[in-house]
Structure 1
Amino acid sequence: MDATSATVGVEEEFILVDPGTGSPVAKNLEVARTAKAIGVELQLELTRCQIETNTGVHTGTADLLKELSKLRRDVAACAEQNSARILAVAIPPTMAERFPVTDTPRYQRIENRFGMLAYEQGLCGCHVHIGIPDRETAVQVSNYLRPWLPVYLALTANSAVYRGVETGYASWRSILWRRWPSAGPPPYFASHNDYDAMVDMMMSSGNILDTKMVYWDVRPSETFPTVEVRVSDIPATVTETALLATLVRATVMMAQDAREHGRPAPRVPAEVLRAAYWNAARFGLDGDGLDPVARRVAPARMLVADLLGYLRPALEELGEQAFVDDTLAAVLHRGNGAHRQLAALHRRAEITDVVDELAGATLEECL
């Protein structure tokens, strides 16, 4: 395992909302302009109610956490200057019937092609990029990561309330996101040529308009020399994002080690992986999950413990075992974003309590 080459970078997506009502507001262009004036480059998302931050490349969790915290503080300040508030939430707890699509040529093409999928797209995730030597390695590593994707989802689930009501799911974003023809758990690919052939078929059939629309939850990045893991809801807190990034980084290292030693990736059938996804989206950390390799039902927290045990050699190599142990224990004790949303909603059945809880979590520990 090579900790120095397995660099890490993170993209976080946020919803912009009205400070009083918590309803999404179409102000990403204004917030991005304000941020640019202070030297912060933000990315526009499909809808005008979303904004994205991108970190630099890091080799340690402490530095990554420091940058993630600064970015959240900066974006919050820029939003405030434009009479908006940012929420680290995967789907807005309260929303209009339709999101305005950002006015760029590419996003307008997507709107024209995919209709209501674009109008209802206000979904926010967290994308973790891990440095990888070449495209073939990225595809092969993706095969090893597939069985662990439901665990990442359960850990970070943060979309339990939608349009003012409890959805019955810890990650409603995951359910909605998979309506796109190129989203959700990726197929098992024998090689990068196999991957490219599938992408070519999807483009020729019109299922995607370009390679950036390959939305599978793990994929070779189209922009960076990385493998990109996209399964997660945007975590409620910056520390949970750093935890996710560290776990993904360690999983990639274990995958590379297995590949180098001739241990094949498990060929989990798509139907089994989808079943494990459903459990993770439905219950998050608070119910049963499904181990897609052993095909056994077990408490989600036990599956998280299985992941932690599997990753111990890589975490020790990275020097991040103590951070992961302490942070994970805190998350399991307090609950993830979905748990916090439901606790806030159940206090008074007031959606404003959910918005306030999420706003506080967004900047929690961003000192």
Structure 2
Amino acid sequence: MSVADWVLLVVLWGISIWRLPAALRSYQHRMLWGAFTALAISRVFSANPVVEWTIDLTGREWATLLRHLGGLLSAASLLAFVEAITRGAGRSRARWIWPAAAVVVGVLVALFAIRGGRIYWVAGQPGETATAGRIYLLVFDSWLIYCLGMAGVMFARFSRTAPTLLKVGMVISAVSMAAGVLNRGHVMVVNLANLLFPQWGLREWGLFHGVTIVVTVVGIALGTSIAGVPAVVGHVRQRAALRELRPLWAALTRQYPDIALGMAGPVRVRLYRRGIEIRDGMLALTSVAEPPADGTPERVAAWVAEALEGAAAGAGSGQPSGVVPGPDFHGDMGRELAWLRQVAAAYKQHSGMSRARGSRVS
């Protein structure tokens, strides 16, 4: 295997592992995960050491058959994925995909068995591919070309009405499907020419084959992932917000441990929970000191620090005033969290300055 083959194999298995959690949640993601995983398995059986090992062990081209079946199932899964994401809320338009794939699998296995477990061999020796082997390859490539071609058409149609970012992903996916059709079409033309005109002795163009397979795999990986970029960015920002709120939240829950809700969940839920807990802690502090009328983050942060010192010293009636400092966000949690992050940053700075003054005094 070349360096490009190894890179492609690592990329495919990386995508397969990365998409596994999503595959457990929805049919569309399962189909996409299946497409990448089946293709990754297919590439494993493309490795020369694996091919040679199976031939030496069994005297049959099992690795080649398994490689082709993996590619066949990958194409079927990809077509099922595209059909699922483009049909909307309507009924499936492609219930025939899996029965048809099963028929093609049966034909390939039957031709493989008829050839005595051989595809590329002649008279039991490695060499030119026999007629039955060429027919086998024509059936295989016809299925791949059909699946990739239909998927490309669906991607292109869906891109017309998709939102901007998703449109970019669909266009990239459609281009990658076109590269896949060219890849298999090139192989199919060579096999058909050798079947009809063996005296020509045509050979596959290795560079073209390698470039188009890389464009196909990388393109579909990028095209189907680009729509998820905003979700990934949002997830990263939410984690950053959790970290920014932590110093303020830790100080409040240390003084008032009962305000911690103790709920597990996704990052977005934990972030909202942390905001609620901070606001509850501020409400508890109003029993210690009157909240400031000025709702600027700096003033509120200074008030929190002073009130926490008083609470730690035993001050407070135990009855909150009911007035939480800060602006009224009218239920807009996004704006409120942004304000709380400013308060947390100011509180962290205030606490650092207080510790520095304490160090100088001591």
Q: Please, what TM-score do these two structures have when normalized by structure 2?
A: 0.21
Query: Hey, which of these two has a bigger chunk of helix by percent?
Result: 2
Between Structure 1 and Structure 2, which shows a larger proportion of strand residues?
1
Between structure 1 and structure 2, the one with the greater Rg is: 2
Q: Which has the higher contact order (CA 8 A, sep 6+)?
A: 1
